Amino acid sequence: MYRDTARDFLERDFAGTRVVLTNNSDGVLRGRLDGIWDQRSGVKSSAADCGCVRWTHSGGLFELKPFENLSLLISHGKHGEGGISGDYHASNGTISPFQITVDGRGPTENLEHVLDGDSWRQTRPLPDSPEDRGVSIRIWSTGPPLDSTNGNTLDHEALSQLQALGYLQ
């Protein structure tokens, strides 16, 4: 019950970077979260736990078996680069590597990387683009970053207090 409520909240109100990995194929998609995205505290999954992400001392590793999908929510506000890298292992033995890097505060545009044969190509989809593609990685931002001038964000005094307490850098 509580997990469903939390999942509904995250789907509806989460402000940050969304990463959706889709593997509608007979191959395996493996990889890791890179840069500032490898910190477990800033990464949530809005989907039921598929056991797809494993956290180790070197960060988050994922493996999507055939016809598994994974949705990750990554908190905004961290300075530096975050990203995702790995390989798609086709059932015929072909391996197609990928590496995607974005600003840790969120991408400035919607991104989609789609496996086309044995290589990846980048497109610019809408966040609600259909997930009937074979293998894809979609990344987009929702909500304002913490350092935005949008009126819905924390004011300067609140940010200063959080920094003094060590919650923000």
| pLDDT tens-digit map of 38-93 | 777 778 776 555 677 888 877 789 999 999 888 888 876 567 788 899 999 999 99
- Global pTM reads 0.74
For residue 78, the enclosing domain spans 2-144
CA 47, CA 18: separation in Å to the nearest integer? 12
Whether 131 shows a pLDDT value over 60: the answer reads no
Total domains, the chain: 1
Whether residue 63 lies inside any domain: the answer is: yes
Q: What is the pLDDT of residue 29?
A: 95
User: How many Cα atoms are found within 13 Å in the side-chain-facing hemisphere of 140?
Assistant: 14
Whether 148 shows a pLDDT value over 80: the answer reads no
Whether residue 32 lies inside any domain: the answer is: yes
Whether residue 59 lies inside any domain: the answer is: yes
Runs of H (alpha helix) within the chain: 2-13, 156-164
Whether residue 68 lies inside any domain: the answer is: yes
Q: What is the pLDDT of residue 47?
A: 59
